[in-house]
Every structure is written in structure tokens, then in C-alpha cells.
Amino acid sequence: MIKMYRKRGDENIFSSIQPNSVLAQIPITTTHPVPQAGIENANNPDRPIHTNSFYANAFLGQQNRPVWTHPYVLWWGDRKGGMVEEGFIDSMGMCVGHTELAEFGYGKGTPAKFFVAPKKQSFILGAREFDRETVLTTDNHLPFSVNINLKRGTAPDSPKITFPVVQGMSFVTAAYENATPMIQTGGKDGFEEVGPPIFIGKSVKYHLTKADPNTFTLPGGFKGTIQIAKNPLGGEGETLYDQSYGTFVTEATLFATVNDTKGIYTFNYTKFGDSPLLMFALPHHIQSLDPELAPGITKLQLQTTTKGVATAVKSDHLTLIETNLPISLSFAPWAPPPATTLPVRPQTKYPPDVITALAPIADADMHRAMTEEIPKESMYYAGKALAKFATILWIIKDILSNVELSNTGLDKLKLEFARYVQNQQKYPLHYDDHWKGLISNAGFAGGPGADFGNTWYNDHHFHYGYFVYTAAVIGYLDPEWVNQGDNRSWTNTLVKDFAGSEYAARDFPFSRCFDWWHGHSWAKGLIESDDGKDQESTAEDGFSAFAIKMWGKISGDANMEKRGNLILAIQARSFGNYFYLSSTNTNQPLPYIDNRIAGILFEGKVDHATYFGATPALIHGIHMLPISPASSFLRPRAWVREEWDKYFSEDRWKQVEGGWRGVLMMNLALVDPKASLAFFKDGVEGVWDEAWLDGGASRCWGVVWGMGLGMIG
């Protein structure tokens, strides 16, 4: 049953971007290097598979990597011919675990280089009939839920267990068909004390405590459900679970509205059973929970792996409210307005001396943008170069009021952008009808590492966000361009690929990258991983939402603009809770928070590192890059100061070479715009080096950014 909950009947912002279609210039491929392991979708073969989903490990590779629902983790025990991990039971069932904070492992150093929540075989839900011929399949692939099945044989009456999996579930539910339940509780952390059966209606409850291997076998041919849950709260927790037993979620849908600076989004749960639901919520959920749901907040809490402590909430829906949407955020330098003023800041007027100093810098930047070749090997680097060019043109037009020069550059930018719209770049995009998405063909020959894994669906919000932003700037400078040729359709197709807004679309999944439950995106695509999905750049995640917002505004898609604003507000909350580690952070482990940044945040661990280097400038800089107007909204100033003082103050930034120096100094403008402006305006001791600029940044933007933040506070 489902009961749709919404606030005041407002319009749902998850509306269609454009009709399903693939542009004629984009080839369609029906094969992909990555097979779909165990996917059963005969009932809905056109439903897109969610490549970057929390449950993707279940249909990738060997299918035995973990799936995190928070607070629980599940993985198939099949070792695929490998060795059984020390202390673990060899089983073909579904392993279920939960790890307490005291059991976390830490890397060397102070603060710790990483932390990880080790897997625990707290329970194994299997069947006596299971052997090495058992297979894992998935079906009903939805944005926030999936069914994971274990079955022996292909006949209709073959032994089978179905696990309906949804984020935040309070019970791990196993639905048995024609199987003899076998529940193992051994491994490293099983149970030695089993209480007598307790009858609740037609159901039976057992208490299991302490550690030692045990195996329970129920009668053969069983058809019914077995649910397990962890209870650290004694009698009070048991009562909560008793009130919700027998009920589980089969689907979650999302409904959202935006009015001015207020956004409301609701997870509506379809459930099997009549009991009220008990769902776990993450810390950022509790912070933004609808006050009407406050009476449902319980004392039942369980540690998650990388998202702090989850709190159980009694409700059949989860409604969250953001009241600080950055609706006035635009292309210009921006700072959050004081709470006592209207949420719109006046246009910044730059003094004549700044204009005089800026003009030759912008002219030089323009010349370089006009003459430098756009990188050919990578959608990512090409997007960065085009976005840089677009920002330079915006400065020349809006700050310097040099319309003639701006138009000259705009013609060149349109020409470069058209190459991608027409799909004539070195590695053209293909529509992948296998996984349902827009991918570079670079990986067909180059493998999963080509263009940062674009063909494997890695980093699509990073790559395509730069193009969407560029389109927004071009459309701002020349509104007629939006509706010329395929400009609108092509840009919208990019948005649909990484931020699709239709729950039941045919050509692209709903919200491939941004995870509305976690509050941030996952960058990892079709790659199985022991540590789960991950993300190493909050800045590019935020920039992709900023691009969606601005393209929606410029192209006239009000709901897209609203989605961008709401995503930014959710990101600001999520980043501050899990990625940006201020001294007051209470969600990540104490031995880790003095790193000041998460680094790479996985589902199962957090590592103060990057995929391309280990210096502080790289680890912290990738969470700064690109500096955009959204940076002021996403990066809290008090934390920025803490991070700067720990790693880059007292001239330590001068030891940073290359473009990362410019990234650091643009970030400094958030807390010291005067020093940042001096760097980009005058260089170091009167000397400027273009090597200090990242490939997506310009010196003139550094000047405008520093001066703008200095003027608006």
C-alpha cells in the first residue's frame, strides 16, 4: 500500500525535461563492455538501470561486494572460488552486518589517514538447499530500492529468498519461497545465547545475544518472511520493533516542491503490511525533518559507516525542509545574504580603479581563450576549458561592458561548443541502450580508465556539468542561441543523463548521480568495489547543481531551476555534516576530523586522499575546484578558515606549484578577499605566472571573485 504525502498540493518539481528521444547525430549502441550480471527485467525491459546506485554492487562483477542501506550492510557470501576470509563462515546465503564505532579501523597518523567500518557476519540468511549452483539476481530496480534474490534452480518452485532493500530500512527482511530457512550467526561476531520463542500474533520472535557460532534450521518448504534487526535500546527498542514487525518497504518515491527560498522534499514509502513503518534517518535528515514528524523521532539509534549515527523515526514518509535556497545566486560573485535582508543582493558595482586594472588582464585571458586549443582527449578537460572561456566572456560583457569584444569571443565559443552539439569531437558521445545513458566512446578502445571512466559512467555530473554551465552563459549572453539548432535539446540531454527528473523515464534513470537520500552525488559508476560508491570532489558536485540551476533559469525551465536550488541547499547541509570537518563536527570519528576534509568519502570508509596524489593541496583543492559563485553558499566560512590555518597559512601556500596555487588562493577569498585579490591582481612580489591557474580558471575571474566578495562581505 502507498499513501502519497505532500505539502499543500503544490506542484511537484520532478517534471519532464523534454520528450524521450536521442538526437540524430548521436549513435546508439546496444552493447557495453560491462555486462549486466543477474539483472531480471523481463516485466519492464525498458526501465533504466541505476548505474551509480547504492545497490550497484549487486549487479556488477562477482556480485558479492557489499550493499550499504545504513545502518546495515548486506553482501552475498559466495566467495567465487576464493579463500574464505579469516574468521568468516563459508556460506551461499546473504550476510548481514552492523559495525559499532568502537570497532572501526584507522589508518596510521594523527589524525588518522583513513577510517573503515570492517565487515561483520552478524547474521547469514540462507537456505539448506543453497549450494554452489545458487545464483544472485536483482529485479524491480528503482531509484531508492531494489529486490535482491538468491535462488537455486530456474523452475517456478525452486528455492528462493528475496531481500527487499531500501535505504534506511530498520529491518533486514528475507522473503522465503519453497526453501528451508537456515540462519547462521557465527563468523567473527555471532551469538551464543538464544532466548525462548516469543509469539506475537502469528509471528515468532527470538532474542540473540553474545558471540559464538550457531545455525538455526526451520521446517522445509517454508513460505514467509524472516526479519532481523539490531536493538541496542533494551525493552524500549524492542517495543518499537514490535510495533513495526511484519511490514517492510517495497518502493520509495520522491515528491518535492519549491516556493521562493523554501524547499520541501518527501520520501513516500510503499509498504507491504499494515503496521506503521520504522525508518532510520541520517543526521542531516534529522536536522531538516518536518516538525510535524518530530513526535516520531525515537531514542533508537545505530552507527552508520560514514554518515554518523542514524536515528529511527516512526513514519510512513520522510519529509525534509530546506529554508535557505540560494535563489539569488547567479553568475556574479555572491555571498549569503544576512538573515535580516531580502534574499536578493543588488548588482555589485566595481570601482573605476578595479575596472582599469581588470581590463588588460581580461583582454589577455580572452586572447588565450581564443587561441588555445580545446583539449581533444577528454570531455572533462574540454568542459573545463569551455566553462573558463564562458566566464571570461561574462566578465567582459557584464563587468567591463565591452560588448564588441564579448561578441567576438562569443562567436568563437559558439563555434567550439557546436562541435560537441554536432558530436564531431575526437571521441563522440554514444547513447548506450544497454545501461541507458550518454557515454564517451573513448572507453570502447581505451578501457575503464579512458577520460576518467566516462564510458563506465564515472563522473558524469563533473564532466557534463561544465558543458551545461557553458550553455547557460552562452544563453545569457545571446538568448536567441538557446533555441537555435539542437542547442537546447543537446544540453537538456546532458542534464537528463546525470540529473534525470522523471521517476519512470525510458531513456535515462532518475537522478543518476545525485543521491537524494544521502544528500550528495556518487561519482563511481559501473565498477564493483569493496568500499562501495564514492566521491572526491564536493566542489564539482556542487558546480553541477549550480549549472542545472542556471541552465534552468536561462532556458526557461522553472522546475529545473528549482531542482538546482534545492539540490544546492541539500548539498550545503550534507557537505557540512560529512565532508567538511570543522572542529565541532560530531558525525565523523574523532580520530579523523582534524584532517578537516573527508578526502574520498566511500560508503564503507573515508580516506584522506585523492585518486591522483597525496599532498594537502590536491586532497583539499579538489574539494575547492572549481571556485564558482556556489562556493560561497556551500563552503562555510568558519570551516574554510580552520582548513586554511591548518594547511596553507603562514605562506605555506607559496610552496604549492602549478594550478593548485590558484585554486587555493581563489578559495582564500571566502575568508580573506583582500589577500586573494592581491594575488590575482599583482602576483607574488609583482610577478605573475600563468602556470598558477588551473585549466578551468582564469586570472580575470580571480580578480572579479576577490573584489566582488570583498565588496559584498
Q: What is the pLDDT of residues 577-615, one digit of tens each?
A: 999 999 999 999 999 999 999 999 999 999 999 999 999
Q: Which residues contact 218 (CB under 8 A, 6 or more apart)?
A: 180, 181, 182, 183
pLDDT at 162 over 90: yes
Q: What is the pLDDT of residues 337-370, one digit of tens each?
A: 764 444 445 456 888 988 999 999 999 999 999 9
Beta carbons of 374 and 438 less than 8 angstroms apart? no
| Mean pLDDT, residues 277-297 taken together | 99
Beta carbons of 284 and 573 less than 8 angstroms apart? yes
Q: What is the CA radius of gyration of the chain?
A: 26
| Mean pLDDT, residues 66-78 taken together | 97
Rounded Cα gap, residues 631 and 667, in angstroms: 8
Q: What is the pLDDT of residues 251-272, one digit of tens each?
A: 999 999 999 999 999 999 999 9
Domain-wise residue ranges, the chain = 28-253
Instruction: Indicate if 459 belongs to the active site.
Output: yes
| Mean pLDDT, residues 507-515 taken together | 98
User: What's the DSSP call for residue 449?
Assistant: T
pLDDT at 199 over 70: no
- pLDDT confidence of residue 198: 58
Residue 352's CB: how many other CB atoms inside 10 A?
Answer: 7
Name the band, by pLDDT with cuts 50, 70 and 90, for residue 209: low
Catalytic residue, candidates 316, 365, 540, 603 = 540
Catalytic residue, candidates 78, 316, 536, 643 = 536
Residue with cell 555572491: 334
Looking at domain 28-253, its CATH class is mainly beta
- pLDDT confidence of residue 203: 63
Catalytic residue, candidates 177, 365, 459, 528 = 459
pLDDT at 374 over 90: yes
87: left (phi over 0), alpha (psi -120 to 50) or beta: left
- pLDDT confidence of residue 344: 47
What is the rounded end-to-end Cα distance, in angstroms, of the chain? 51
Q: What is the pLDDT of residues 83-116, one digit of tens each?
A: 788 778 889 999 999 999 999 999 999 999 999 9
Instruction: Indicate if 540 belongs to the active site.
Output: yes
